[in-house]
């Protein structure tokens, strides 16, 4: 795992290129720690997640490690990955997946728990676990269902064939597809835009969407109204509205 900071953006890179950045237990734990640190760091306003090397974002879970697991160990491994990815999904700071290559199995599951996904036009994604006699175990059946719908989820999980980035964009699995040579620049531009935005408003928006995706509309609307009201207690709201009225760029501080 490598970590770098750039103008308020924390870049977390899964660094096992010889294994196509496959997720083993140690990598899951390292990711969990890296995200916990990024979330708690006052200087970090947005997070970018990617994989090392030109071939893979994350090509999946580590099959060599899984091959020896007992049923109980398999369940524990699943829960370990789910807990880490739930931390990412519930991050109060926006997380952008920079999908630079294969995002298969656990790799697609990792990308899907991020808030935005920017993919190179050469990337391929999928849930091929069926070909190993397995099912997705890090939330793939649930997040894919919510992103792409029942028909696409059944196709990807039952047939196990990867799809290209353009098809993933059509299904709503990734937000944008860009030329591979421009992936880093375009992803960092989006991350910088997020880092410059009002932190408390970002957090409120993420909270509302997370709550709304897991409850009925009446409860979601009530939560949204409460969060909207809270924004009026922030200095950032005063700064943002004043800057608009004064026709200048706002300077948000997170207060």
Q: Residues with catalytic annotation? A: 109, 129
Structure tokens at 22: 């496959």
Go through 63-101 and write b for each residue having 16 or more CB atoms within 10 A of its CB, e for each that does not: eebbeeeeeeeeeebbebbbebbebbbebebbbbbbbbb
134 exposed, middle or buried (CB, 10 Å; 0-12, 13-18, 19+)?
Answer: middle
| CA separation for the pair 107, 125 (Å, rounded) | 8
CA distance 19 to 141: 24
What is the Cα–Cα distance from 163 to 126, expressed in whole angstroms?
Answer: 6
Distance CA 32, CA 80 (A): 10
Q: How far, CA to CA in Å, does 102 sit from each of 36, 113, 123, 144, 167?
A: 25, 16, 6, 17, 14
255/240 Cα distance (integer angstroms)? 12
Report the C-alpha gap between 22 and 86 in whole angstroms. Answer: 19
The single-letter DSSP state of residue 162 is -
């Amino acid at each position: 795992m490598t970590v770098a900071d750039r103008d308020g953006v924390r870049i977390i890179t899964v660094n096992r290129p010889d294994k196509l950045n496959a997720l083993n237990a140690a990598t899951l734990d390292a990711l969990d720690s890296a995200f916990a640190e990024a979330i708690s760091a006052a200087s970090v306003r947005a997070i970018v997640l990617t994989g090392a090397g030109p071939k893979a974002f994350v090509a999946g879970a580590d099959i060599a490690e899984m091959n020896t697991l007992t049923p109980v160990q398999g369940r524990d491994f699943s829960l370990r990955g789910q807990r880490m990815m739930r931390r990412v999904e519930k991050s109060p700071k926006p997380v952008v997946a920079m999908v630079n290559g294969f995002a298969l199995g656990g790799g697609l599951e990792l990308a899907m728990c991020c808030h935005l996904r920017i993919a190179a036009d050469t990337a391929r994604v999928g849930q091929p676990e069926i070909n190993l006699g397995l099912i997705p175990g890090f939330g793939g059946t649930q997040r894919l269902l919510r992103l792409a719908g029942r028909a696409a989820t059944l196709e990807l999980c039952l047939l196990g064939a990867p799809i290209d980035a353009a098809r993933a964009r059509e299904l709503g699995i990734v937000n944008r597809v860009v030329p591979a040579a421009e992936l880093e620049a375009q992803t960092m531009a989006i991350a910088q835009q997020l880092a410059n935005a009002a932190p408390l408003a970002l957090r409120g928006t993420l909270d509302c969407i997370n709550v709304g995706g897991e409850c009925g509309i009446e409860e979601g609307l009530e939560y949204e109204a409460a969060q909207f009201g809270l924004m009026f207690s922030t200095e950032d709201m005063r700064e943002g509205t004043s800057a608009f009225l004064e026709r200048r760029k706002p300077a948000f501080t997170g207060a």
